[in-house]
Amino acid sequence: MNSIKRHVAFGAPAIGLLSLALAIPVLRAQAPASPQQAIDAAYSKYRTLKEGKNADYIPALAKVDPNLFGIALVTTDGKVFTAGDIKTEVSIQSISKVFTMAQVIQEQGLDAIEKRIGVDATGARFNSIIAVEAVKTVVGTGAPEMNPLVNPGAISATSMVSGSSSDDVWKKIIGFHNDAAGRQLSVIQDVYKSESDTNQRNQAIGALMLAYGYIKSNWQQAVDLYTRQCSIGVNAKDLATMAATLASAGKNPVTGKQVLDADKVPGVLAVMSTAGLYDDSGKWLYHTGLPAKSGVGGGIIAVSPGKFGIAVVSPPLDDAGNSIRAQRAIADISNALGGNPYAAKKAGS
Ligand code: DON
């Protein structure tokens, strides 16, 4: 974060620096934009972009305003930068998979997820059943080559959260999300009902995961709690705070609460890197280097370890199920701020 702070401290007029940065990319590389400048530039560049389409296999998601566009960035020292609509909530969807995975690791250790579900990319769509069959490993005979960020692995991860009743497990799941976001979140009931009415495919996946030993009992409860966690309402600022918690070694930089042990964070980020954007994870990583996670509600979070968490909410998606404006805005902003963790500085510079 040093380069960002240094630049902010110059106190140069924002507009002058912004036009300079846009006009002369080589200068931008030498003197990174400030977070607010980078966010404002991406917001105005992509505000009118009309590509992609809301998810509609969950009917409630098709009704969300496709023009909704909000960007938030939270630094590891707790500063918040935003543009656009950062108040309107969308359902968190698959971004919740990261936090339920983290919760299981927090409770049961890094091995728990690796042994039961696996930490390998499937290279398939998020709800692929063929990918489950392709693993060919019944749990117990070897480490499965799957991960907790695709639906089968995520439903299994939800089944691993301990608790004496469904309510008990739910309180833990929502509690962990609350801690990462730094406020009390709640379920968007309309989305929960809509997905519950139409999630036959996830029910089939749940039953299959029981048959193959990933889920030990009560797959119906696992699918229901998974559906509920996907329906949690979040805005761009909530998501950026959750991402920043992962960027800050598991400590929410706004509230100061240690949500996840620091030694558990790298494993979570590794799975986000290889599988966070599903079959497009490689392309994303190639261009940004950032561990990230998308949701079909239109959110994407990305983490620049030790620097910042960033999130964008914009519902229209590409074919892989990832928000188009979110991908473009996050890539631009992070690259302008030197967020790519693979881009080490040359010695002495
Ligand atoms: O299970 C589903 O299909 C949704 N609740 C979540 C899928 C999702 O968000 C995929 N992400 N891009």
Q: Which atom of ligand 1 is nearest to the CA of 294?
A: 12
Residue of the CA atom closest to atom 11 of ligand 1: 295
How far is the centre of ligand 1, averaged over its atoms, from the C-alpha of 94 (Å)?
5
Q: What burial class does residue 344 get, using C-beta atoms within 10 Å of its C-beta: 0-12 exposed, 13-18 middle, 19+ buried? A: exposed
pLDDT tens for 241-276 read 999 999 999 999 999 999 999 999 999 999 999 999
From the list 326, 320, 323, 324, the residue with the least C-alpha distance to 124 is 320
Range list of β-strands (E), 158-205: none
pLDDT tens for 105-123 read 999 999 999 999 999 998 8
Residue 49 is predicted with a pLDDT of: 96
Distance between CA atoms of residues 35 and 305, nearest Å? 16
How far is the centre of ligand 1, averaged over its atoms, from the C-alpha of 196 (Å)?
13
Amino acid at 101: M
DSSP codes joined into one string, 11-77: ---HHHHHHHHHH-HHHHHHSPPPHHHHHHHHHHHHTT---SB---SSHHHHTS-TT--EEEEEETT
Ligand 1 and 93: CB distance under 6 A: yes
Choose the residue to mutate in 230, 300, 323 for probing ligand 1, maximizing ligand atoms within 8 Å of C-beta.
230
* CB 322 within 8 Å of CB 300: yes
pLDDT bracket for residue 305 (50, 70, 90): very high
pLDDT bracket for residue 140 (50, 70, 90): low
Span between the terminal Cα atoms of the chain, in Å = 15
Residue of the CA atom closest to atom 12 of ligand 1: 295
How far is the centre of ligand 1, averaged over its atoms, from the C-alpha of 203 (Å)?
13
Radius of gyration of the chain (CA): 20
Residue 258 is predicted with a pLDDT of: 98
- Model-level pTM? 0.90
Between the CA atoms of 248, 294, 33 and 283, what dihedral angle is there, to the nearest 10 degrees? 110
User: Crossing angle, helix 151-160 and helix 200-211, to 10 degrees?
Assistant: 70
How far is the centre of ligand 1, averaged over its atoms, from the C-alpha of 12 (Å)?
43
- Is 36's pLDDT higher than 70? yes
Q: Which atom of ligand 1 is nearest to the CA of 154?
A: 1
Distance between CA atoms of residues 307 and 248, nearest Å? 8
How far is the centre of ligand 1, averaged over its atoms, from the C-alpha of 185 (Å)?
19
* CB 303 within 8 Å of CB 246: yes
Instruction: Provide φ and ψ at 276, rounded to 5°.
Output: -65, -30
pLDDT tens for 153-194 read 999 999 999 999 999 999 999 999 999 999 999 999 999 999
